[in-house]
């Protein structure tokens, strides 16, 4: 039997310099590194590059969290960020962040060290099939990479290498941009002009900062009812067109058309569209995916380019009178918040008041997003609200927050307790990001309580529902101490007087009243 080629004639030093220099020329200016024997040569090259002022390097110890931190950096900058890991299962740890980046159409770059020659899938230590491990979620060719999805570069390296001083003076960070080509603007414009009896609703999801102004003016000109996510940055600005209590209102008076701008909405009605094929849906988004299992139109691109290219739009207005009763529905919510201030929803209102003067707010996972959308205050605009809404996963939320807000003062993140437990390793980055005024608020409601609100799960047994909630008693005070954070626990809204610790991050543990949460939900039907 012929022996496989296990040649070790790999010049690791030159290979590492070449790979890192190539991605820098492609526009990668930041790297998150997780050290290991196999990728040590890459770390040494990056060390010299950072000393030369060419790149910024962040250091982590856990690959899954590192991938999400790098994703957060791409969210904040719009530029690619690379995560560098060693061989073996370290590579597999990156899959969750790769999936999330794919569905957000973010330029996450993965540089994975590998054993050379015929070691792949040989059963030798730290030798797995790394090439193609991310399947269709990442491309593996830098030359053809378009920046609309992750890039994976798998690099065969020897552990032994010789170090020399390298002059990186001639290395320049390349320009990075994404070309979405020529989108179907004509078809979208014709679809908008076609009048229907039940009118149009605009659903505004996650938006990049550069998209917000064009979306704002477009919605004003259209004057149609709007369902607007906080992560659009336009929630308060578009209030005059906002459908309050949108899930019930749209269910009672379904429109003929839904125009989705940006990311997939978090509300119930978007999912109800799966069973409403008579409603025509058109999405305009970065990833070019319709966000539904049913037939729908989609235009891929950025809204700051697509909307101006459509020219002036005719006013459609509130044909179906969906905004009728909006004030009454808003008043019902306000009355419920006043009656149940210690409910989860009441606490979200309280947090939104304090966080509205922060540098930015990150909402971790579905329940905080939905509760912020419906219950946050309306008086003070909160233009910088972020979340991971690509695949809607619970992974890496703390890391994404820290990456996205790394250089920001007064950065707030709001997470459920189970979401926080998924990413405790992410707190390692606290020593490398801006700490002044940083607040990590944890809603400690005893596990994944969003499942209590899914109607189809109501018939499940108590045991099965407990498994769904996955309640895990945690001493958050001890957790805060372990990561050198201040800790504040509050159970009553009238006892909370904000957080005023500027020189270190604060873990704000909120324990809502279960009875009040149920009372709030019951009062709104």
pLDDT tens track for 376-427 = 999 988 889 999 988 888 999 999 999 999 999 999 999 999 999 999 999 9
For residue 449, the model assigns a pLDDT of: 54
Chain segment 119-171, per-residue pLDDT in tens: 767 778 777 899 999 999 999 999 999 999 999 999 999 888 889 999 999 99
For residue 452, the model assigns a pLDDT of: 58
Q: Which residues contact 194 (CB under 8 A, 6 or more apart)?
A: none
Residue 27 reports pLDDT greater than 90:
yes
Kindly state which CATH superfamily the domain 185-309 is placed in: TPP-binding domain (3.40.50.1220)
- Residue 197 — pLDDT band, cuts 50, 70, 90? confident
- Residue 497 — pLDDT band, cuts 50, 70, 90? confident
For residue 501, the model assigns a pLDDT of: 63
- Find the range with the poorest average confidence among 48-57, 87-96, 198-207, 316-325: 316-325
Beta bridge partners of 297: 282
Query: What is the mean predicted confidence (pLDDT) over 474-493?
Result: 94
Q: Using CB atoms within 10 A of its CB, is residue 27 exposed (0-12), middle (13-18) or buried (19+)? A: middle
For residue 125, the model assigns a pLDDT of: 73
Query: What is the mean predicted confidence (pLDDT) over 220-235?
Result: 96
CA distance 50 to 46: 6
331: its two tokens: 């008043």
For residue 316, the model assigns a pLDDT of: 94
For residue 1, the model assigns a pLDDT of: 36
For residue 405, the model assigns a pLDDT of: 97
- Residue 366 — pLDDT band, cuts 50, 70, 90? confident
List the strands of the sheet with 151-156, edge to edge. Answer: 56-60, 30-34, 81-85, 108-114, 151-156
For residue 6, the model assigns a pLDDT of: 44
- Residue 9 — pLDDT band, cuts 50, 70, 90? low
CA distance 374 to 246: 9
Percent of the chain with pLDDT over 70: 94
Q: Which residues contact 175 (CB under 8 A, 6 or more apart)?
A: 27
For residue 121, the model assigns a pLDDT of: 73
List the strands of the sheet with 200-204, edge to edge. Answer: 226-228, 200-204, 257-261, 280-285, 297-300
Can you say whether residue 363 is alpha, beta or left, with left for phi > 0 and alpha for psi between -120 and 50 degrees? beta
Q: Looking at 406-457, which runs of residues are DSSP E strands? A: 411-416, 439-443
Chain segment 427-439, per-residue pLDDT in tens: 999 999 999 999 9
Q: What are phi and psi of 225, to 5 degrees?
A: -60, 145
For residue 126, the model assigns a pLDDT of: 78
Query: What is the mean predicted confidence (pLDDT) over 310-318?
Result: 93
CA distance 130 to 152: 10
For residue 122, the model assigns a pLDDT of: 77
Between these two residues, 2 and 446, which has the higher pLDDT value?
Answer: 446
Task: Count CA atoms within 13 Å of residue 156 on its CB side.
Answer: 14
**How far from chain centre, in Å, is Cα 105?**
11
Residue with tokens 């619970």: 394
CA distance 248 to 245: 6
Residue 4 reports pLDDT greater than 50:
no
Architecture of the domain whose range is 12-156: 3-Layer(aba) Sandwich (3.40)
- Find the range with the poorest average confidence among 4-18, 91-105, 472-486: 4-18
Between these two residues, 100 and 367, which has the higher pLDDT value?
Answer: 100
- Find the range with the poorest average confidence among 98-107, 388-397, 459-468, 484-493: 459-468
Containing 522, the helix (H) or strand (E) segment is helix 514-523
Domain boundaries, the chain: 12-156, 185-309, 326-523
CATH match of 326-523 with 3.40.50.970:
yes
User: Are 12-156 and 185-309 in the same CATH fold?
Assistant: yes
For the chain, the average pLDDT equals 91
For residue 451, the model assigns a pLDDT of: 55
Residue 8 reports pLDDT greater than 70:
no
């Amino acid at each position: 039997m012929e022996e496989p080629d296990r040649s070790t004639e790999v010049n690791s030093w030159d290979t590492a310099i070449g790979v890192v220099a190539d991605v820098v020329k492609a526009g990668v200016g930041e790297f998150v590194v997780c050290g290991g024997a196999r990728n040590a040569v890459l770390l040494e090259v990056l060390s010299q590059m950072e000393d030369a002022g060419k790149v910024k390097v962040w250091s982590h110890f856990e690959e899954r969290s590192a991938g999400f931190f790098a994703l957060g950096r791409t969210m904040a900058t719009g530029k690619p960020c690379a995560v560098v890991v060693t061989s073996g299962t370290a590579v597999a740890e990156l899959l969750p962040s790769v999936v999330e980046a794919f569905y957000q159409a973010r330029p996450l770059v993965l540089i994975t060290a590998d054993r050379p020659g015929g070691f792949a899938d040989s059963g030798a230590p730290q030798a797995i099939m790394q090439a193609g491990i991310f399947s269709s979620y990442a491309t593996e060719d830098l030359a053809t990479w378009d920046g609309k999805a992750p890039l994976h570069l798998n690099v065969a390296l020897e552990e032994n290498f010789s170090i020399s001083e390298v002059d990186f003076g001639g290395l320049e960070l390349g320009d990075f941009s994404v070309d979405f080509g020529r989108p179907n603007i004509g078809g979208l414009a014709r679809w908008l002009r076609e009048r229907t009896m039940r009118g149009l609703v605009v659903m505004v999801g996650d938006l990049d900062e550069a998209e917000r102004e064009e979306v704002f003016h477009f919605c004003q000109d259209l004057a149609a009812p709007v369902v607007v996510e906080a992560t659009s940055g336009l929630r308060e600005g578009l209030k005059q067109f906002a459908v309050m209590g949108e899930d019930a209102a749209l269910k009672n008076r379904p429109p003929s058309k839904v125009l989705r701008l940006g990311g997939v909405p978090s509300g119930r009605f978007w999912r109800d569209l799966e069973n409403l094929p008579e409603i025509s849906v058109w999405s305009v988004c970065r990833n070019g995916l319709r966000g539904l299992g049913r037939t729908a139109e989609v235009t891929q691109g950025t809204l700051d380019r697509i909307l101006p290219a459509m020219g002036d739009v005719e006013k459609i207005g509130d044909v179906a009178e969906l905004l009728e009763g909006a004030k009454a529905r808003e008043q019902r919510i306000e009355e419920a918040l006043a009656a149940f201030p210690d409910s989860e929803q009441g606490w979200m209102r309280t947090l939104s008041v304090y966080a509205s003067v922060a540098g930015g707010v990150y909402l971790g996972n579905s329940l905080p997003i939905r509760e912020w959308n419906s219950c946050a205050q309306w008086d003070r605009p909160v233009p910088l609200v972020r979340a991971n809404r690509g695949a809607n996963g619970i992974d890496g939320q703390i890391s994404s927050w820290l990456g996205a807000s790394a250089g920001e003062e007064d950065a707030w993140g709001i997470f459920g307790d189970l979401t926080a437990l998924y990413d405790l390793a992410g707190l390692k980055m606290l020593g490398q990001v801006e700490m002044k005024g940083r607040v990590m608020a944890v809603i400690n409601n005893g596990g994944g309580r969003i499942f209590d609100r899914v109607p189809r799960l109501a018939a499940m047994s108590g045991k099965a529902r407990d498994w769904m909630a996955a309640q895990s008693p945690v001493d958050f005070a001890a957790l805060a101490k372990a990561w050198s954070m201040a800790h504040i626990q509050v159970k009553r809204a009238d006892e909370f007087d904000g957080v005023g610790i500027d020189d270190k991050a604060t873990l704000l543990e909120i324990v809502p009243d279960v009875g009040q949460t149920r009372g709030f939900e019951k009062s709104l039907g």
